[in-house]
Amino acid sequence: MKYSIVFPGQGSQSQGMMSNLRSNFSVVNEIFQEASDAINLDLWKIVNEDQELLNLTEITQPVMLAAGYATYRVLASEVNLSPISIAGHSLGEYTALVASGSLSFFDAVQLVRKRAELMQVAVPSGSGSMAAILGLGDTRVIEICLKASDKGVVEAVNFNSPGQVVIAGEKDAVAHACELMKEAGAKRALVLPVSVPSHCSLMKDAAKEYKYSVDNINFQMGSEKVLHNVDADYSSNIDEIKSKLVEQLYKPVLWTSTVQKMKESGVEKLIDAGPGKVLAGLTRRIDKSLSGSAIIDTTSLRSTIEEISNA
């Protein structure tokens, strides 16, 4: 079976996640310890004890990076992996780059922490917003965002699957866009509990600042092919990887196109490596001929290994 491995981003975190895998695989503890050391914070303690802290962008990003990479390492310790490609949704792209060997885990933890801090500073708390729009086509969502932008910045930022698009921008403009979406026939326009309006033009200043951090990190061309969010394509050199990571801060996540690209390369299954089942759930909505499974505990790990081994 031809498969790709994908990594989730913010929004898939939950208190107590990874406990089952950590009980059975020491590598999970080692990775969380390394992440904690990199930024001088006890991340495992936060995961287990403080949901509010866990949901803060500058905590969520290193935690989700550690969780996704730990899940990948557990899988790799149990079966010989040979994915066609790998990718990650938003923050998950960093996990994919670490898994490919393009970026060291220690550097990635520090980088995503910096990314989160800059994102949080870019837009004052409470002034930005994001909302999930269900039941309208991509083009219609883009058109309505343009119409609503007389109230401020509002843009389509996550193309997650046909009929599921996330918008982001200034709070009033997002609220106005949500009303217009409902009038246009959207099934739902759901404001998301996030503190930062990711992937929209409000992040351009943060991206300029972030470029300095990215340029100071040592990247390599990885052993696995990584599909990037901004163009649903691979990079041919290190400069391209870096520029795509910087652009990703203020450009949309083209997840539907990323999964379609995987399908074109012969992929039949997507393995969602990390907490939650968000990406596995989106897979069949994007293409019914694809299957998706999430590794969240030893049971789902075993069934994934069986599928890969028997292919």
Catalytic site positions? 90, 199
CB atoms within 10 A of CB 92: 28
Q: Which residues have CB under 8 Å from 35's CB, separation 6+?
A: 43, 62, 63, 65, 66, 105, 109
> In one letter, which amino acid is 211?
K
Q: Dihedral (C-alpha) 117, 121, 126, 129: value to the nearest 10 degrees?
A: -70
- By 3-state DSSP, what share of the chain in percent is helix, strand and coil, each rounded to 5? 55, 15, 30
The Cα–Cα gap between 127 and 129 comes to 7
Query: Tokens 């269900």 — which residue?
Result: 134
Give the three-state DSSP class for 188: strand
